[in-house]
Chain A
């Protein structure tokens, strides 16, 4: 081409500095991507605002509509008992719904070609996904704060002191974080953001309803009760309930191990989900043919 003739003496051009590699680079890259996702959240506040509608509606509907008619074993028919019992369930359900957001966000990045851009850069392996899940965790934490305020307004109280309550919120946040990794894998596996949203939501309904979140497992057929009591989601609900002091005095805790040791079970389940789905999602990310 003619332009080559007038090219100046072509010197070797600067290329990217060699990365530090290792954990340091993973952390830095993840934070850069997290920052990018947080900026997006601030610029599209609708997502957070609409995301709050459903849980707030659940708090109000369940407390006032079902409140009086659901009997807790070992408790009277006092609606306040059920309200307290319910809140941990709604909090937990809310954090798991972050799955859909993470999945849709990643599917959109794939769709728009941003994942290709990231994958062509000398970045740390899992940074794009870690950054996304970290940003989602910030959003989940915000949502929990708003929800806690609404719950306090309708009469929910923590009975075991602030530290334990914070521990309960910590476990909820960890569960939400674990579930965003499932969302990440879904987002990488489907072709469109729409599919990621519905694919991220459908299985959450059975998961969160066949649990001890809304009704006691004692009221279910034996078969379902077993599933509910071993459901990882139930473990976190039960742990939060225990840490918030929201179990009615005479409530017969089921015999299943996760129900008897909910805090430990919740931690274990969340960590296992994170390790498993992070591994799968990062592998998928690196091989995704887009």
Chain B
């Protein structure tokens, strides 16, 4: 059975820029694909092609079994799109926005009104329903935008960077909403620059760079491909860093690296929790005070760097919703070295 989303050899150039350079995708029905990549990788262009907004130069695509190029209006009936920029009319109220979208899906007036009320309730916007969207917070606008994409309960959803620019609390709340949505069986293609987001929401991840899918798999598969675990130590006193490095060096199977600013030493290892315990004992015996220590599995950040040779996002404050580095494993302890199957369980 063909997937709910299927694309073959999509190419799109803008002037000299090859935005898409042969993108192939397959998203089985009822699953979530995370399209992960830096700005300009081709994520948004891919979504625009699949949602009929942009004609590719070559290649073909089907969404919900319908040909995107030949049956665009049929495709539009079966999809919901939630954009990077909250596409709601800020001078209309939340209710008016949703009613308008319903009417434009050819719902009768009464039905559009009923559906708008349901969605406002479900997205916790009922109290703000009759205020113009201009008065909404960023998180409320995103929820309204998402609600607008769900007016007809489309079987296939596209979300282009749904949480970009949101603060951690709102991001978390939106993730919960999205998880409930996909639990209902909606097929979702989600683009993101946030590795944590892909980790948390997607069944499968396609890493995109320079208009190509450069790797594909589950989050765990991608992490395994990148290689093993490592120990990270944050040394309390700066002048004991070199002592700590001398203890770590013989245990590792590679170079010990140091982040001066955070006083963090990192070394690749292969001994698991047992080795970690040993390192802790040695550090303790030498009287080196540590702020944090943990056994770290590779994160999607590491995956990205090893695949592309550059970080997903460079120094973008928004990259890190937790504000403390990669939220998944920074505070990892030996106990968490046990390979979690579901990333979200460990949150």
Interface residues of chain A, those whose CB is within 8 Å of chain B, are 1-4, 6-8, 10-20, 25, 28-29, 32-33, 35-36, 39-40, 43-44, 112-114, 116-123, 287, 289-290
Q: Within 8 Å of chain A (Cβ to Cβ): is B332?
A: no
Please provide the chain B residues from 144 to 194 with a CB less than 8 Å away from any CB of chain A in the complex: 148, 152-155, 179, 182-186
| Residue from B92, B101, B132, B153 within 8 A of A15 (CB atoms) | B153
Inter-chain CA distance A260–B51, complex, in Å, is: 53
| Residue from B54, B100, B132 within 8 A of A43 (CB atoms) | B132
Q: Within 8 Å of chain A (Cβ to Cβ): is B278?
A: no
Inter-chain CA distance A15–B105, complex, in Å, is: 9
Give 27 A-B contacts (CB < 8 Å), ordered by A residue: A1-B182, A3-B182, A4-B182, A8-B185, A13-B185, A15-B78, A15-B152, A17-B107, A28-B103, A33-B104, A43-B91, A112-B85, A112-B87, A112-B90, A113-B84, A113-B86, A114-B87, A114-B88, A116-B48, A117-B88, A117-B148, A119-B52, A119-B53, A120-B79, A121-B105, A122-B104, A123-B104
Tell me the interface secondary structure of chain B in the complex: loop
User: In the complex, are the beta carbons of A40 and B87 less than 8 A apart?
Assistant: no
User: In the complex, are the beta carbons of B14 and A289 less than 8 A apart?
Assistant: yes
Residue picked from A11, A40, A117, most chain B C-beta under 10 Å: A117
Q: Within 8 Å of chain A (Cβ to Cβ): is B73?
A: yes
Residues of B within 8 Å of A, CB-based: how many? 53
The 9 A-B residue pairs whose C-beta atoms are closest, nearest first, are A10-B185, A113-B87, A117-B87, A16-B105, A113-B85, A122-B76, A3-B183, A16-B77, A120-B81
Question: With a CB–CB cut-off of 8 A, which chain B residues contact A19?
Answer: 73, 77, 106
Question: With a CB–CB cut-off of 8 A, which chain B residues contact A123?
Answer: 104
Question: With a CB–CB cut-off of 8 A, which chain A residues contact B87?
Answer: 112-114, 116-117
Look across to chain A and name the residue whose beta carbon is closest to the beta carbon of B54.
A289
| Residue from B32, B73, B90 within 8 A of A122 (CB atoms) | B73
> What is the minimal beta-carbon distance from B185 to any residue of chain A, in angstroms?
3
Question: With a CB–CB cut-off of 8 A, which chain B residues contact A1?
Answer: 31-32, 182, 201-203, 342, 344
User: In the complex, are the beta carbons of A120 and B76 less than 8 A apart?
Assistant: yes
Please provide the chain B residues from 29 to 45 with a CB less than 8 Å away from any CB of chain A in the complex: 30-32
